[in-house]
Amino acid sequence: MANQRWNWGLSALLWFTTVAWAEPYVSTDGRFSAELSPATTCTTSSSDSPVGAVVTTVFLDKQPGRFLTVSFTDLPKLAILAGRDRIFDEARDGMLQQCSGTQTSWQRRDAQTRRLLYNAPGHRGETIFRLEKYRLYVIDVRSETSLKPALDSQFLQSFKIISPPAASAPAPKEP
């Protein structure tokens, strides 16, 4: 009996110690922190849009059976003037198209936040879209359906904005 209590106590100590030592992934350029591993990769892409060039930065953490992603896009001021609902709808549609997913739920949390639940071949997914000033954050987790969803929620809840985005849209570059 004492041996079983000792094992339980040691297991609890190791679990709490591991959690205490865990450092969130911090992106100073992205102005966010999240529970991503040190193996996270970062890519940047640019695309043309009717309102000007749009640059997106994606942080991807591939884990066994799970993909964790935080991305952000600084939007041109004209995009904001077109309306938040349009921004969210286009971001949702792009996400579903990118992963060949089917929407199961689309919720408005507040004026700046939307939540998407979806199914993709062999996976379930959840995405949080957060608009902060002129920056759109997309926090996504896509997991094999056999995995427990508790880690998905833990990742999504770990996302924090560490400093506010610029108060105004980026100024156009002078030629």
Tell me the CA distances in angstroms from 21 to 14, 18, 38, 167, one per residue in order: 10, 5, 14, 34
pLDDT category of residue 47 using cuts at 50, 70 and 90: confident
C-alpha span between 133 and 64 (Å, rounded) = 35
Residue the block writes with tokens 């591939």: 62
Indicate the Cα dihedral angle 50, 84, 123, 70, nearest 10°: 80
- Residue ranges of the domains in the chain? 20-161
- β-pair partners for 58: 43, 71
- 72 touches 98 (CB < 8 A): no
Environment class of residue 130 by beta-carbon count within 10 Å: exposed (0-12), middle (13-18) or buried (19+)? buried
Asked whether the predicted pLDDT for residue 19 surpasses 70, the reply is no
Indicate the Cα dihedral angle 3, 9, 152, 135, nearest 10°: -160
Helix or strand or coil: residue 142? Answer: strand
- 170 touches 53 (CB < 8 A): no
Instruction: Answer with the residue of higher pLDDT: 49 or 107.
Output: 107
Q: What is the mean pLDDT of the chain?
A: 83
Class of 20-161 per CATH? alpha beta
Asked whether the predicted pLDDT for residue 165 surpasses 90, the reply is no
Tell me the CA distances in angstroms from 31 to 7, 101, 109, 162, one per residue in order: 41, 29, 22, 5
pLDDT exceeding 90 applies to what percent of the chain?
A: 62
Asked whether the predicted pLDDT for residue 83 surpasses 80, the reply is yes
Q: Which pLDDT does position 6 carry in this prediction?
A: 41
Q: Which pLDDT does position 168 carry in this prediction?
A: 45
Asked whether the predicted pLDDT for residue 22 surpasses 70, the reply is no
Q: Which pLDDT does position 72 carry in this prediction?
A: 96
Q: Which pLDDT does position 121 carry in this prediction?
A: 94
- β-pair partners for 102: 119
Question: What is the rounded average pLDDT of the residues 118-133?
Answer: 95
Asked whether the predicted pLDDT for residue 16 surpasses 70, the reply is no
Question: What is the rounded average pLDDT of the residues 89-112?
Answer: 95
- Enter the tokens of residue 157: 């809840």
Q: Which pLDDT does position 166 carry in this prediction?
A: 52
Q: Which pLDDT does position 53 carry in this prediction?
A: 79
Q: Beta-carbon neighbour count of residue 41 at 10 Å?
A: 10
